[in-house]
Amino acid sequence: MEHKLQLIKKIAPDLTEEMIKRYRVLKTVRLLQPCGRRLVVLSLGMTERTVRSEIERLSAQALVHISKIGMSLTEEGMEVLEGLETIFSALTGLSILEERLTDALGAQKVFIAQGDSDSSERAQKEMGQLAARVLSENTTEDLRIAIAGGSAMAELVQAAPESAVPMAKMVLPARGSIGRRLELQADTLAARLAEKLQADYRLLHLPDNLSPRVLEEMKKDPDISETIAEMEQANILLLGVGNALELAEKRRLDEAVRKQLEKDNAVAEACGYYFDGAGKVVYETRSIGIDFNDIDKMDCIILVAGGKKKAESLLAVSHSIPNGIFVTDEGAALEMLRLAGK
């Protein structure tokens, strides 16, 4: 099918470009809805005249609804968009890029959002929607889900649809909550995701870098020990990936630790573990959370991160999670292939 689509693109390039343009407008409205026309213009980099013209066509076809609060997709618009995703992935070359990156990472599967989330809010939201879909396809009502904190995970939770029936047994934070932004902490995201999936949840109100003595004492607390026992049974891990040195500074690790991370060429951080370029763990924060030594027992690991700046970090983590499902964007994907010499 993909070969046939490429032949169509060759014989009718103007037609396919028009189709792709209209599809991108429709997809952007879904990602940002309810939204104004100006937001779509800024997100796509098209002229306001072009966007206005395309919106008028989509509205006339009852695919987009325009109201006082902004534009949104109609039910028919959602059906059309979902039905065309495979076709347009082939036309835009994303499906080929996904295959190349899957092979380069040794991943189970790779899903790529259009754009670069370093500079595009649209790409961030699309990654969240892709990740939410991957989660829904891999979870059942008897599974336990562990979720890390961070902006990528927040987008996933935001995109997850409300379920009328239980979609998981329990949702847990992948580690003790850290940071100043409550809305990005693992505890908060676990509770919100559990609500959407009609699942139970547990919380873990613990900071990073506790002293060894305090850490052992905390583990004896009945509530915490119960949460740890549930975490050890997690089947699905939702994980963000960050730059090691940036996060070490953000989390105010000791200066000696930061210098050692730099000396050890740490390039990635995930769930409190710091990795060098080869995927070796060079430092682990003193906190309670998912043990990376046990994640190979999980049924599914979904990593979500994008932007060209995250490419090196994603490559590093891929060495430790060779069979993970990666959700990223074009910016990171192209840079990863360049760094991997592919």
| 305: nearest Cα among 339, 328, 335 | 328
Write out pLDDT tens, residues 30-69.
888 898 999 888 888 888 999 999 999 999 999 999 998 9
Tokens read off for 14:
């103007």
Given this model, what pLDDT does residue 267 score? 96
Q: Of 156, 206, 201, whose CA–CA distance to 178 is shortest?
A: 206
Q: What is the DSSP letter of 292?
A: G
Contact status, residue 281 vs residue 272, Cβ threshold 8 Å: no
| C-alpha–C-alpha distance, residues 198 and 255, integer Å | 43
Residue 136 has pLDDT above 90, yes or no: yes
> At a CB cut-off of 8 Å and minimum separation 6, what does 197 contact?
139, 145, 160, 163, 166, 167, 168, 171
Q: Could you tell me if 299 and 235 are in contact, meaning their C-beta atoms sit under 8 angstroms apart?
A: yes
3-state secondary structure of 144: strand
Sign of CA dihedral 252, 257, 259, 262: negative
Average pLDDT, the chain: 88
Cα diameter, the chain: 70
- Nearest to 132, CA basis, from 105, 102, 158: 158
Predicted confidence band at 208 (pLDDT cuts at 50, 70, 90)? low
101 C-beta neighbours (distance < 10 Å), count: 25
Q: Is 209 exposed, middle or buried (0-12, 13-18, 19+ CB in 10 A)?
A: middle
pLDDT at 178: 61
DSSP symbols for 208-276: SS--HHHHHHHHTSHHHHHHHHHHTT--EEEEE-EEHHHHHHHTT--HHHHHHHHHTTEEEEETTEEEE
Kindly state the tokens that stand for 69. 């609060």
pLDDT tens sequence across 75-120: 999 998 888 887 777 777 788 899 999 999 999 999 999 889 998 8
CA distance 4 to 16: 13
Whether the CB-CB separation of 240 and 305 falls below 8 Å is answered with yes
- The 3-state DSSP class for residue 133 equals helix
Q: How many whole angstroms separate alpha carbon 244 and alpha carbon 275?
A: 7
Residue type at 334 in one-letter notation = L
The residue to which tokens 């009945």 are assigned: 222
| Gyration radius (Cα) of the chain, Å | 21
Q: What is the pTM of this model?
A: 0.83
Give the residues across from 144 on adjacent strands.
170
pLDDT in tens, 226-237: 888 888 899 999
Number of helices (H), then strands (E), in the chain: 15, 13
